[in-house]
């Protein structure tokens, strides 16, 4: 099997765990956690923010491990942490233990993706990199759909949420074994090169990447944390038990997110500036529909679908956009973009939770929708360049 297929398949599995149940698992089961642990909206927001703080910390640790040991070690560490965190949630007897499990589980996403950007850059030809990176990022869609189906099965059969999290832990352990078997050694970047090139992260041309990443992180994290519970609390949709609503939200989210596989082709067809406008508007409409059409299929499916498309395609954009801007430090450049995402994801739910308790959920969602909508308005073509930043050089393919 070629490096293109091996790395794509291994990365697909790792992101399916880290960005599937690892990223959305807490939001998927908020309706179950709220009564079980007596949580307010503010508490939900802070625990969700804590999880994304774990993601932030995981990114930093992964970069250190990548620089010292190559991509295999952080990937294995991330899947190991995911397995431990999911098992902790499954057995959690108290809110503190639940929060610890959420922190560990969410941190796994920080470990398991960025090293693949480095491996793909080194082992996959330039023409195949956008496809490989899109395939890896779209593992998220399958992971989310699988998690949603597990939650739907539990809601319809009366199975405990703890059983679902035990299933997630087993799946994570299997993904760890598969990655251990599939990954080939990939040399790490020389430390002096990283030191020389890292200053280019501060280049003015890279700022739009980080702004888009921050807005995307805040918007998606707020949606993941609150949308499903909001819909369920309003009775769900006709013909389906309200308890099954969160599962339906994330199944639609994941299925529509599979469009992420087409991100490279769409970008080639319409250009990066228009793709970014489309994605930010999609994120804004997704959140606004929660308020405009609550309790209707015409609200749930488009809202969850647009959010899934927004998340998966933007993830793919951040992967190949950062690789284009920082060709000599692909993993570090992607880590920087995801750190901006993690910062938005950490702050967003915490602020949204307080705002929801103070002003109501509808006002909170409308304020959230304004964030990507405003970004789309101010975005200019010159902000979405794909040329390497000044002084950054590209290694031979």
Of the listed ranges 96-110, 181-195, 232-246, 265-279, the least confidently predicted one is: 181-195
- The pLDDT of residue 185 is 57
Structure tokens at 355: 């705002």
If you average pLDDT over residues 370-378, what whole number do you get? 94
Please tell me which residue, 251 or 181, carries the higher pLDDT value.
251
pLDDT band at 230 (very low <50, low <70, confident <90, very high): very high
User: How confident is the prediction for the chain on average, in pLDDT?
Assistant: 86
Question: Distance between CA atoms of 382 and 205, rounded to whole angstroms?
Answer: 9
Q: Where are the domains of the chain?
A: 3-184+202-384
pLDDT band at 4 (very low <50, low <70, confident <90, very high): low
Burial 107-116 (b: 16+ CB within 10 A, else e): bbbbbbbbbb
Residue 28 has pLDDT above 80, yes or no: yes
Task: Determine what percent of the chain is predicted with pLDDT higher than 90.
Answer: 51
Asked whether the beta carbons of 304 and 252 are under 8 A apart, the reply is yes
Residue 190 has pLDDT above 60, yes or no: no
pLDDT band at 186 (very low <50, low <70, confident <90, very high): low
- The pLDDT of residue 66 is 82
Please tell me which residue, 193 or 70, carries the higher pLDDT value.
70
Return the SS3 of 131: helix
Structure tokens at 282: 């999609």
If you average pLDDT over residues 286-308, what whole number do you get? 93
Just give the CATH number of 3-184+202-384. Answer: 1.20.1250.20
Residue 312 has pLDDT above 90, yes or no: no
What letter would DSSP give residue 187?
P
- The pLDDT of residue 360 is 94
Closest CA to 144 of 308, 12, 285: 308
Asked whether the beta carbons of 20 and 146 are under 8 A apart, the reply is yes
pLDDT band at 362 (very low <50, low <70, confident <90, very high): very high
Burial 155-165 (b: 16+ CB within 10 A, else e): beeeeebbebb
Contacts of residues 236-245 at CB distance under 8 Å and 24 or more positions apart, as own/partner, are 236/295, 237/295, 237/296, 237/297, 237/300, 238/296, 238/297, 241/155, 241/156, 243/31, 243/155, 244/152, 244/155, 244/156, 245/31, 245/300
- The pLDDT of residue 396 is 40
- The pLDDT of residue 235 is 87
If you average pLDDT over residues 20-44, what whole number do you get? 92
Question: Distance between CA atoms of 367 and 310, rounded to whole angstroms?
Answer: 18
Asked whether the beta carbons of 333 and 281 are under 8 A apart, the reply is no
Question: Distance between CA atoms of 156 and 166, rounded to whole angstroms?
Answer: 18
Residue 288 Cα distances to 41, 283, 364, angstroms: 19, 9, 10
């Amino acid at each position: 099997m070629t490096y293109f297929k091996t790395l794509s398949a291994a990365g697909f599995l790792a992101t399916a765990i880290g960005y599937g149940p690892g990223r959305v698992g807490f939001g998927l089961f908020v309706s179950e956690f709220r009564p079980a642990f007596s949580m307010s909206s503010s508490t939900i927001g802070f625990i969700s923010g804590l999880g994304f703080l774990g993601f932030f910390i995981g990114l930093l640790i992964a970069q250190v491990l990548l620089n010292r040991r190559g991509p295999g070690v952080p990937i294995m560490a991330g899947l190991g942490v995911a397995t431990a965190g999911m098992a902790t949630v499954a057995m959690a007897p108290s809110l503190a233990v639940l929060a610890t499990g959420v922190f560990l589980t969410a941190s796994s996403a920080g470990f398991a993706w960025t090293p693949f950007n480095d491996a793909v850059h080194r082992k996959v030809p330039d023409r195949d990199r956008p496809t490989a990176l899109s395939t890896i990022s779209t593992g998220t869609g399958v992971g989310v759909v699988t998690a949603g189906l597990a939650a739907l099965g539990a809601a319809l059969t009366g199975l405990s949420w703890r059983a679902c999290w035990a299933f997630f832990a087993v799946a994570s352990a299997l993904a760890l074994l598969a990655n251990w078997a599939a990954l080939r050694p990939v040399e790490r970047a020389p430390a002096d090169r990283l030191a020389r090139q890292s200053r280019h992260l501060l280049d003015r041309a890279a700022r739009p990447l980080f702004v888009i990443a921050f807005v995307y992180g805040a918007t998606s994290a707020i949606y993941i944390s609150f949308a499903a519970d909001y819909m369920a609390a309003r009775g769900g949709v006709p013909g389906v038990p309200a308890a099954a609503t969160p599962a339906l939200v994330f199944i639609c989210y994941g299925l529509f997110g599979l469009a992420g596989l087409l991100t490279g082709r769409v970008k080639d067809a319409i250009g990066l500036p228009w793709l970014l406008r489309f994605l930010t508007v999609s994120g804004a409409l997704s959140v606004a529909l929660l308020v405009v059409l609550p309790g209707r299929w015409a609200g749930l499916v488009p809202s969850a679908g647009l959010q899934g498309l927004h998340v998966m395609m933007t993830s793919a954009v951040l992967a190949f956009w950062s690789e284009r801007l920082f060709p000599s430090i692909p993993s570090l450049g992607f880590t920087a973009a995801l750190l901006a995402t993690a910062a938005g994801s950490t702050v967003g739910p915490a602020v949204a939770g307080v705002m929801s308790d103070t002003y109501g959920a509808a006002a909170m969602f409308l304020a959230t929708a304004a964030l990507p909508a405003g970004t789309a308005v101010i975005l200019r073509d010159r902000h979405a360049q794909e040329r390497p930043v000044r002084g950054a050089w590209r290694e031979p393919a």
